[in-house]
Amino acid sequence: MSGKEMNGKEVDGKEVDGKEMNVREMDGTETEQQNKLAVMPVGKLLFSLAMPAIAAQIVNLLYNMVDRIYIGHIPEEGSMALTGLGITFPVIMLIAAFAALVGFGGAPRASIAMGKGDNETAEKILGNCVCTLCVLAVILTLFFSIFAEPVLYAFGASEETIIYALPYMRIYVLGTIFVQITTGLNAFITSQGFSNVGMKTVMIGAGLNLVLDPIFIFGFHMGVQGAAVATVLSQAVSAIWVLRFLSGKQTILRIRKENLHCSLSVMGPVLALGASPFIMQSTESLLSVCFNTSLQKYGGDIAVGAMTILSSVMQVAMMPLSGLCQGMQPIVSFNFGAKNMDRVRKAFLLTLACCLGYATLMWGAAMLMPKTLAGIFTTDETLIQYAGWAMRIYMGAICLFGAQIACQQTFVALGKAVHSLFLAVLRKIILLIPMIYILPAFLEDKVFAVFLAEPVSDFLAVCATVTLFFCTAWRLLKGEEKTCE
């Protein structure tokens, strides 16, 4: 976009249709970033954006895993403490889901507006999202602080594990505001093409958590409480970093005081688009409850402990895919807004190929060395054997999951709220949760049946997602259907 032309009209202080256009002067950073999204070769652009995002996701993975690894290796009580920590996962994922509702719904909308040359609207979206995230943080903190114990029992805690789960949760929820800001607003950094800055956001917090965890857990002998304190402090530093960047001079979109309010006209479309990633993450919370309660019923604490390990390994498999799709999102959203469908198609196809390749590698690792992966999280040989057996069942279809996430996240990047919402609901609510309860009714080995629900649901969901994508979005990108304004 040049200084002389915007959307095909003269803007250098001249009249357009008889009216004076007020155009905010674009600085060098803004011009460079938008030109990069519009003209850089798609392959080079995707990897320049995706690699920092993938690195950030891997580091973020360490952020989440470090607590589990250190706690699982606490002498004598490590395996039970790890199981107790696993009971808190639904709460952690639910808090993150609300950040995704706002951030992952607002960032693509802002990117599409930028692609149309409307940065003023993009900044309104950013300001409204900041305000909404703060309101949500207050509500979530109060709710989980008041109802911590009954929530944990409902999520599958036992008398043996509640003594570890409750102290961790009470401290962790105090940092809810930092989770909302870091996760929700970092999406606005990467959506502008500042993937290196987005990576640093995660690396700062994860690196600090890696250092603080052993200090508080072992040095101060605080156990699970120390892990929670270290996590909250690390999240606080990341949140400060995000706010400083989005208020500074380097960013294209800035947090401005006049935009800090909650407008229904702005937040309505944001929340509609964010509903898909919200459901994807919040239903992870619901799934943890369903898995934990069913496994507690049929297999006891060791089965719940194995599920903690399996969910951790699954995160290892899925987070880099999420980082790749984060790199794809600004390319697809910006060029869709600019109606450059050729670049959108190229970005999607390359993303799809990479997702499928990586998912296949992760499937191979889970099938060939499940006990090695389980041993990262515990030294309990009985738990390692149990988790190794279960992993081959639980992760039996992840080789197909690359297609699921590539298609679903492209729907989000295109602003297709209804399609992405349907797919999020389909896999977890319509398919997986019922399977957890239906399959044990037909199979003699009840624990095997619970773990089998995951691959069966994944296979059916991938088939439905790919079919829907190529019957709708792909036709749109090929010009066979009109784009929606």
> Which three-class secondary structure string do you get for 178-243?
HHHHHHHHHHHHHHCCCHHHHHHHHHHHHHHHHHHHHHHHHHCCCHHHHHHHHHHHHHHHHHHHHH
DSSP string, 362-395: HHHHHHH-HHHHHTTT---HHHHHHHHHHHHHHT
Segments making up each domain of the chain, as ranges = 41-477
C-alpha angle 254/61/54, rounded to 5°?
Answer: 60
* Cβ 228 vs Cβ 172: under 8 Å: yes
Which tokens in the block code for residue 129? 């999202």
> How crowded is the C-beta side of 27, counted as CA atoms within 13 Å?
6
Q: Look-up: residue for tokens 């706002």?
A: 102
Q: Look-up: residue for tokens 């973020």?
A: 60
Instruction: Please tell me the pTM assigned to this model.
Output: 0.67
* Phi, psi torsion values for 8, nearest 5 degrees: 80, 15
If one counts every other C-beta atom within 10 angstroms of the C-beta of residue 253, the result is 25
CA–CA dist 221, 401 (Å, integer): 41
Residue among 477, 480, 199, 117 nearest 332 (CA): 477
Q: Look-up: residue for tokens 């993303």?
A: 351
CA–CA dist 71, 378 (Å, integer): 9
CA–CA dist 227, 127 (Å, integer): 33
Residue type, 347: A
Spell out the per-residue pLDDT of the chain, length 485, in tens.
Answer: 444 344 443 434 333 343 333 334 445 555 555 567 777 777 788 888 877 777 766 766 666 667 777 777 677 677 778 778 778 888 888 898 899 899 989 998 998 888 888 889 999 999 999 999 999 999 999 999 999 999 998 887 878 889 888 999 999 999 999 999 998 999 899 888 787 888 788 788 888 988 898 899 888 888 888 889 998 999 999 999 999 999 988 888 999 999 998 999 999 999 988 887 787 777 777 887 889 889 988 998 888 888 888 988 887 778 788 878 878 888 888 888 778 888 888 888 899 999 999 999 999 999 999 999 888 877 788 889 999 999 999 999 998 988 988 888 888 888 787 787 788 788 888 999 999 999 999 999 999 999 999 999 999 999 999 999 888 877 777 765 554 44
What Å distances lie between residue 167 and 7, 161, 163, 211, CA to CA? 56, 11, 7, 21
If one counts every other C-beta atom within 10 angstroms of the C-beta of residue 174, the result is 14
CA–CA dist 461, 444 (Å, integer): 25
By three-state DSSP, how is residue 336 classified?
helix
